[in-house]
Amino acid sequence: LDTTDRADAYLASLSSPMSLRNFIGNNFTEHTEPSHWIDSFNPRTGELLTQIPRSALSDVDHAVDAAVRAFPTWSRTSRQERSEILLRIAEILKEKKEVFAVWESIDQGKTLSRARVEVDRAITNFQYFATYILHEEGAVRYVDGSVSTMTYEHRSPVGVFALISPWNMPLYLLTWKIAPCIAFGCTGVAKPSEVTSMTAFLLAEVFRKAKLPPGVMNIIFGDGPGAGSALVKSARIRGVSFTGGTATGIRIRQDTVADIGKHLSLELGGKNPTLIFDDVNLTEAVPLAAQAAFENSGQICLCGSRIYVHRVVYDAFLAAFVEYVRETYRCGEAIGPVVSREHYAKISSYIKQAKEEGAYFLTGEVPSEVPQKGFWITPTVLTNVRTDSRIMRDEIFGPVVTVSPFDTEEEAIELANDNPNGLASILMTKDLSRMRRVGERIDAGLVWVNCWLVRELGTAFGGMKASGIGREGGSQSRDIFTNLRTLHVR
Ligand code: NAD
């Protein structure tokens, strides 16, 4: 954390790749199987960047021990004290913002400007929950109008949590779980994605500097089927907050179903529709639809990867959209590489299938079988894709978007909802009654009208259908991390 913000020079000075350490009880520890490492690569060059401990069951147990030991004291620490520590964490993150942004950009492949936005949001995560806990309101009611018996609700921290996050917004999504977990008095073991572990490692140092008591938040590194699964299944873990792919979410639900008291929050994948009606101003709609499709190279669960346009403006939209994407979303500028060799292969296979099925490529092409230098994929705009094609149904999670026409409002709603996922959607129209009429019928936990990616941390965040279980944010996060009891007092 204190080394340098000139990360490239620092990397060049190293004779071997950096190796990370688990953070348990405020110490950086050796994992018990030191020969077991996971290689993590620089997406821009394809070269080895870091080695991540492939934590074993014993490492997971060790981290859970630390969190279990810390819980009795931390859960009784005053809100004021917890709040102060969270605000200190936010302050240190602010001081080190550029260091975090640079490493996030190197590790994940995102542009530096995107990384800065995400570090800002991570800071806000800590500030928001630090102050939320100071301002909670509660009500006392009197039974039968009698003052002799009062009733009220009381909440207490649940216990030790497993916090598991994906690789696309590493720091931002992990802190979205860590901040409420410790704010509401729980302790935890966090496991970032093995593909992008760098900023979680730096965050551990921030916890030490902020004097977060030992064991309150532990960070272990490792793969999903190994460390992740062991963590989720541990009987001493009383809740799981998970963000990642739908298949992993299903696995975690199966792995926890018998432990009925375990709190579970699953934030999963999306295949989100963008609906463009015939009354839009194209100079506003085109950049917004393009940003929603290609921000972070399409690797955001909320990206609008299926665009539907009213037939009256379809041709005009398409022409302007293609020109805008070609000019604005160039590889190396607004577009970074995709995160890994495996992900490059996955996205490429979808693009190849689109070619075989006869899709029209308005931008982009089938990527070379083996990436030459770094994992670069040109933004790809496709038309003439069938609704039942895998390209239209599956979350590709890369810089690939389909554009299709619709004729009526009813058809637009049908097309938007014709997908197993239900995370987010974007509507573009000037008609206020249509905003509500359509917005209230879309199967999506989040509906953005004439905007995208706007967040207010008090509002519920999460998906319908295959996109998840539960919501996070504000009181929804409180519900995940606390147990509720009702008292009647005579
Ligand atoms: P992933 O499901 O492969 O991995 C996510 C995390 O789960 C990683 O830390 C991984 O190690 C761990 N994991 C894997 N198997 C596990 C198991 N059996 N038990 C416990 N942990 C396990 O997802 P990914 O490829 O890292 O991320 C991309 C996915 O995340 C996309 O589907 C994207 O839509 C989704 N996502 C959702 C949101 C949201 O808020 N809904 C936000 C960002 C990303």
Q: Return the ligand 1 atom nearest residue 229 CA.
A: 19
**Which token pair is 196?**
């992008």
Is the minimum distance from the CB of 339 to ligand 1 under 6 angstroms?
no
- Give pLDDT tens digits for 130-139: 999 999 888 8
Is the minimum distance from the CB of 375 to ligand 1 under 6 angstroms?
no
Per-residue pLDDT, 33: 74
Asked if pLDDT for residue 15 goes beyond 90, the answer is no
Is the minimum distance from the CB of 251 to ligand 1 under 6 angstroms?
yes
Tokens 């296979």 sit on residue: 349
Higher per-residue confidence, 275 vs 6 = 275
Asked if pLDDT for residue 410 goes beyond 80, the answer is yes
DSSP string, 77-95: S-HHHHHHHHHHHHHHHHH
Per-residue pLDDT, 148: 85
**Mean pLDDT on 325-352:** 97
DSSP string, 21-50: -EEETTEEE--S-TT-EEEEE-TTT--EEE
Enumerate the H helices of 257-374 as residue ranges: 282-294, 311-328, 341-356
2-11, 63-72, 110-119: which range is least confident on average?
2-11
Asked if pLDDT for residue 207 goes beyond 80, the answer is yes
- Give pLDDT tens digits for 455-486: 999 999 999 999 999 999 999 999 999 999 99
Asked if pLDDT for residue 146 goes beyond 80, the answer is no
Q: What are phi and psi of 433, to 5 degrees?
A: -70, -30
Is the minimum distance from the CB of 167 to ligand 1 under 6 angstroms?
yes
Is the minimum distance from the CB of 248 to ligand 1 under 6 angstroms?
yes
In the structure, what pLDDT confidence band is assigned to residue 10 with cuts at 50, 70 and 90?
confident
Relative to beta strand 27-29, strand 22-24 is antiparallel
Q: How many helices (H) and strands (E) does the chain have?
A: 16, 23
**Mean pLDDT on 201-226:** 97
Per-residue pLDDT, 260: 95
Asked if pLDDT for residue 354 goes beyond 90, the answer is yes
- Give pLDDT tens digits for 414-462: 999 999 999 999 999 999 999 999 999 999 999 999 999 999 999 999 9
Is the minimum distance from the CB of 269 to ligand 1 under 6 angstroms?
yes
Which residue puts its alpha carbon closest to atom 42 of ligand 1? 301
Report the catalytic residues. Answer: 267
Q: Which amino acid is at 336?
A: G
In the structure, what pLDDT confidence band is assigned to residue 16 with cuts at 50, 70 and 90?
confident
Asked if pLDDT for residue 266 goes beyond 60, the answer is yes
CA of 343 relative to ligand 1 center, distance in Å: 13
Asked if pLDDT for residue 111 goes beyond 70, the answer is yes
**Mean pLDDT on 212-219:** 98
Asked if pLDDT for residue 4 goes beyond 70, the answer is no
Which residue puts its alpha carbon closest to atom 21 of ligand 1? 228
- CB distance 155 to 483 below 8 Å: yes
Asked if pLDDT for residue 32 goes beyond 80, the answer is no
Q: What are phi and psi of 443, to 5 degrees?
A: -80, 80
- How many C-alpha atoms does 130 have within 13 Å on its Cβ side? 18
Per-residue pLDDT, 3: 57
**Mean pLDDT on 137-143:** 89
Percent of the chain at pLDDT exceeding 90: 92
Residue from 163, 164, 421, 465 whose mutation best tests the ligand 1 pocket (most atoms within 8 A of CB): 164
Is the minimum distance from the CB of 38 to ligand 1 under 6 angstroms?
no
CA of 164 relative to ligand 1 center, distance in Å: 8
Is the minimum distance from the CB of 395 to ligand 1 under 6 angstroms?
yes
CA of 238 relative to ligand 1 center, distance in Å: 20
DSSP string, 415-438: HHH-SSEESEEEEE-S-HHHHHHH
Per-residue pLDDT, 34: 67
CA of 99 relative to ligand 1 center, distance in Å: 25
Long-range contacts of 122-126 (CB under 8 A, 24+ apart): 122/93, 122/171, 122/172, 122/175, 123/90, 123/93, 123/94, 123/97, 124/90, 124/457, 125/172, 125/175, 125/176, 125/178, 125/179, 125/457, 126/86, 126/87, 126/89, 126/90, 126/93, 126/175, 126/179
CA of 123 relative to ligand 1 center, distance in Å: 22
Per-residue pLDDT, 2: 66
Q: Tell me the pLDDT of the chain averaged across its residues.
A: 95
Q: Find residue 24's DSSP bridge partners.
A: 27
Per-residue pLDDT, 334: 94
**Which token pair is 468?**
């998840």
CA of 54 relative to ligand 1 center, distance in Å: 17
Asked if pLDDT for residue 239 goes beyond 90, the answer is yes
Q: Helix or strand or coil: residue 402?
A: strand
Tell me, what's the ipTM? 0.98
Higher per-residue confidence, 32 vs 50 = 50
**Mean pLDDT on 134-159:** 90
